[in-house]
């Protein structure tokens, strides 16, 4: 079905939810609240927030920080207000979970004024997912979340890693934008920041072309020409050199962050968590990420790692001091749960 814009989408949803045959409610006013994923909350939002005019203005003021995402999120909010009249709208921010990072982890070593005037700093993303899987892990390990140190690896098309200290985000690999950090499907992740100057001065690429290259043509795709991990793994099996290199680089970057975060957490780590498309499904990638780490107390059981499943599960062996878990993420459910919690508190 062609759904060209948010308005059509919300109209469709309204019909689907309320139609007499398959609908689950009588009319749209039966809905208590609508939870919206809003990508950039800047420094303004540290928790889920009921949307009113002031909140909309604040989301608008964060558009420069997420020009591709926040305008779309606002269109969704406006469409929801139009088709679900009188229903409370709640914004759940992708950046909110990471607002607990200490300043030493979120600042860039640029002159202070660029932080003070322009808010150039690391924000981190995928917060809803990192938070959700950390709660799943706490439940699985039967320990209070406040007592846990975790490294969560969200490996989807976009990818980020989060160091969680005593249940709170302590450090994360994405920065002011989702381009920093891990190698992703089509994003480069960490590179020498002088490369764009070189591309502009010597290759004569425009600012826009550089942006497109780093966001859409780099990462796994840049190295292997493919961006679906299933295809890259299959090509590697066939002996394709570029697919082999892409996977080697992808895994090395993840291991670099695991090393850094393990040290950042003072060596106190309860569990490493794999989640999202690649993290949940690609046993080969998990194996490569966790290879030869027994000196750090990390050992996986290859049979457990290979077994497929949809539930939270442990893939470390009995000797491993640090647990290694697969926790399937569910950002929509987490947004709904956070919206529900906020409603109950009000």
Q: CA-CA distance, 52 to 228, in Å (whole number)?
A: 40
Distance of alpha carbon 112 from the chain centroid = 28
Of 256-285, binders to ligand ADP (CB under 6 A) are 276-278, 281-282
Catalytic residue (one of 94, 190, 228, 318): 94
Which of 156, 175, 178, 219 contacts ligand ADP by CB under 6 A? 156
Nearest to 48 by CA among 338, 344, 334: 338
Tokens of 280: 């949940």
* Closer to ligand ADP by Cβ: residue 8 or 330: 330
Position 330 contacts ligand ADP (CB under 6 A): no
Binding status of residue 158 toward ligand ADP by CB under 6 A = yes
**14 carries an active-site annotation:** no
How many residues does the structure list for the chain? 346
Cα 184 off chain centre by:
11
Number of residues forming the site for ligand ADP (CB under 6 A): 12
The sheet that has 33-38: what strands, in order across it? 33-38, 88-93, 49-50
CA separation for the pair 173, 171 (Å, rounded): 7
CB 328 → ligand ADP: shortest distance, Å? 10
Question: Least separation, in Å, of the C-beta of 278 and ligand ADP?
Answer: 4
What DSSP assignment string belongs to 259-312?
HHHHHHTTT---EEEEEHHHHHH-HHHHHHHTTT-GGGT--B-HHHHH---SS-
Q: Give the residue carrying structure tokens 């300043």.
A: 103
Select the span of 154-162, 202-210, 257-265, 335-343 touching ligand ADP (CB under 6 A).
Answer: 154-162
Candidate ranges 52-60, 84-92, 144-152, 155-163; the one touching ligand ADP (CB under 6 A)? 155-163
Task: Provide the minimum distance between the beta carbon of 185 and ligand ADP in the complex, in angstroms, as a whole number.
Answer: 6
Distance from C-alpha of 296 to C-alpha of 140, rounded to nearest angstrom: 22
Q: Which of residues 22-61 bind ligand ADP (CB under 6 A)?
A: none
CB nearer to ligand ADP: pick between 306 and 321: 306
Residue 18 or 242: the one with the smaller Cβ distance to ligand ADP is 242
Nearest to ligand ADP of 106, 250 (CB atom):
250
Residues 215-244 that bind ligand ADP (CB under 6 A): 228-230
The closest residue (CB) to ligand ADP is: 277
The CA–CA distances, whole Å, from 118 to 39, 50, 113, 122 equal: 18, 26, 8, 12
Site string for ligand ADP, 167-186 (x = CB under 6 A): ------------------x-
Residues 185-204 that bind ligand ADP (CB under 6 A): 185
Per 3-state DSSP, the chain is made up of helix, strand and coil in percentages (nearest 5) of 50, 15, 40
Q: How far is the CB of 287 from ligand ADP (least distance, A)?
A: 12
Residue 231 Cβ vs ligand ADP, minimum distance, rounded to whole Å: 7
User: Which residue is it, tokens 């969704």?
Assistant: 76
Pick from 132, 138, 3, 30: nearest CA to 88: 30
The smaller minimum CB distance to ligand ADP, of residues 242 and 281, is found at: 281
The residue among 37 and 168 lying less far from ligand ADP, judged by its C-beta, is: 37
Residues marked active site are found at 94
Residues of the shown chain interacting with ligand ADP in the complex, contacts defined by CB under 6 A: 156-158, 185, 228-230, 276-278, 281-282
């Amino acid at each position: 079905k062609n759904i060209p814009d948010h308005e059509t989408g919300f109209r469709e949803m309204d019909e689907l939810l309320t139609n007499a045959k398959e609908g689950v409610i009588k009319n749209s006013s039966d809905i208590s609240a609508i939870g919206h994923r809003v990508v950039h909350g800047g420094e303004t939002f540290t928790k889920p927030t009921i949307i009113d005019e002031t909140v909309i203005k604040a989301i608008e003021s964060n558009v420069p920080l997420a020009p591709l995402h926040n305008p779309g999120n606002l269109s969704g909010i406006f469409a929801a207000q139009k088709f679900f009249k009188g229903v409370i709208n709640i914004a759940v921010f992708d950046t909110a979970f990471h607002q607990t990072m200490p300043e030493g982890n979120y600042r860039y070593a640029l002159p202070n004024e660029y932080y003070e005037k322009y808010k150039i700093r690391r924000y981190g993303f995928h917060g809803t997912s990192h938070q959700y899987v950390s709660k799943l892990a706490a439940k699985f390990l039967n320990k209070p979340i406040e007592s846990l140190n975790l490294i969560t690896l969200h490996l989807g098309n976009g990818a980020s890693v989060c160091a969680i200290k005593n249940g709170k985000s302590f450090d994360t690999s994405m920065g002011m934008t989702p381009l920093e950090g891990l190698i992703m499907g089509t994003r480069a992740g960490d590179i020498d920041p002088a490369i764009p100057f070189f591309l502009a001065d010597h290759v004569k690429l425009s600012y826009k072309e550089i942006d497109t290259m780093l966001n859409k043509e780099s990462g796994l795709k840049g190295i292997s020409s493919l961006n679906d991990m299933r295809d890259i793994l299959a090509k590697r099996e066939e002996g394709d050199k570029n697919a082999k290199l892409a996977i080697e680089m992808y895994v090395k970057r993840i291991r670099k962050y695991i090393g850094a975060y393990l040290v950042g957490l003072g060596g106190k780590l309860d569990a490493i968590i794999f989640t999202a498309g690649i993290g949940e499904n690609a046993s080969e990638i998990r194996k490569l990420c966790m290879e030869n780490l027994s000196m750090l107390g990390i050992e996986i059981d290859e049979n457990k790692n290979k077994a497929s499943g949809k539930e939270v599960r442990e893939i470390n062996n009995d000797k491993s001091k640090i647990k290694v878990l697969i926790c399937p993420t569910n950002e929509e459910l987490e947004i709904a749960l956070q919206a529900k919690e906020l409603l109950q508190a009000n």
